[in-house]
């Protein structure tokens, strides 16, 4: 890919949210007497994500008429393997940014985990007052980067939030097919990414970095 900037999502792209999601489900079901197992609930969440539910957790709660909820604990998330080593290599060739639907405190987490130094800009939905798939947050990132859309690639785990809106603007796109949205399928050609990978490390080959 002939680009100058790489823009990354955070959840299920850099951080694996699987354990956090499953712990949340188990907490919800253990605190209440529902006739459903955590395994079935999580499988339904994956199906909801495949159907483009904005919040798979909320969608499954609604499916079973569950009014109660439980908080999501981001400290249960884990970095995917090879994230830091891959970012180190990508940083030698590209400028790197973040476009993510995340709370402002995520910036502190990136600092704590030794990641923030790899990012030249970081746009978080709570800080920007915008969230994907709103195209304005992508345009704002391009403006801050002083980058044309055709010189940028968006890398994320969701076809609806990451690939589709970025592609419409003119970004190149890489779908990192992992996490709860891995069963999504393009609903139109506009949802088809330029490239698809199943692990963070595979980005090195796609982006021609040794």
Q: What is the pLDDT of residues 152-205, one digit of tens each?
A: 999 999 999 999 999 999 999 999 999 999 999 999 999 999 999 999 999 999
Two tokens, residue 48: 């909801």
Cis peptide before 133 (omega within 30 of 0): yes
Q: Which residues are within 8 A (CB) of 38 and not within 5 positions of it... i.e. 6 or more apart? A: 22, 25, 26, 29
pLDDT at 26: 95
pLDDT at 34: 87
- Residue 196 phi, psi dihedral angles, 5° rounding: -135, 135
CA–CA gap between residue 5 and residue 183 (Å, rounded): 27
Q: Any idea what DSSP says for residue 30?
A: H
pLDDT at 210: 85
Two tokens, residue 101: 């639907």
CA–CA gap between residue 162 and residue 45 (Å, rounded): 19
Look up tokens 């609806």; give the residue.
160
Which residue intervals of the chain are DSSP H helices?
Answer: 18-30, 38-50, 56-63, 83-90, 106-112, 125-128, 135-145, 164-169, 203-206
Report the sign of the C-alpha dihedral through residues 140, 144, 149, 153, in that order: negative
User: What SS3 class is residue 21?
Assistant: helix
pTM: 0.95
Q: For the chain of 210 residues, list the mean pLDDT of each consecutive stretch of 10.
A: 94 97 95 89 97 96 94 94 96 97 96 96 97 98 98 98 97 97 96 97 94
């Amino acid at each position: 890919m002939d680009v100058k900037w790489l823009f990354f999502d955070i959840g299920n792209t850099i951080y694996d949210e699987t354990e956090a999601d499953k712990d949340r489900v188990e907490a919800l079901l253990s605190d209440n007497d529902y006739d459903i197992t955590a395994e079935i609930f999580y499988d339904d969440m994956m199906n909801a994500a495949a159907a483009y539910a904005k919040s798979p957790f909320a969608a499954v709660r609604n499916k079973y008429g569950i009014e109660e909820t439980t908080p999501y604990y981001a400290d249960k998330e884990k970095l995917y393997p090879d994230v830091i080593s891959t970012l180190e290599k990508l940083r030698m060739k590209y400028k790197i940014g973040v476009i993510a639907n995340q709370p402002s405190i995520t910036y502190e987490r990136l600092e704590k985990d030794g990641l923030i130094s790899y990012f030249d800009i970081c746009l978080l939905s709570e800080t920007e007052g915008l969230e994907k798939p709103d195209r304005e947050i992508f345009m704002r990132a391009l403006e801050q980067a002083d980058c044309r859309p055709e010189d940028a690639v968006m890398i994320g785990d969701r076809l609806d939030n990451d690939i589709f809106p970025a592609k419409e603007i003119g970004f190149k796109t890489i779908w990192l097919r992992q996490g709860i949205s891995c069963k999504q399928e393009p609903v139109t050609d506009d949802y088809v990414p330029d490239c698809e990978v199943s692990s963070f490390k595979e980005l090195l080959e796609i982006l021609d970095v040794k």
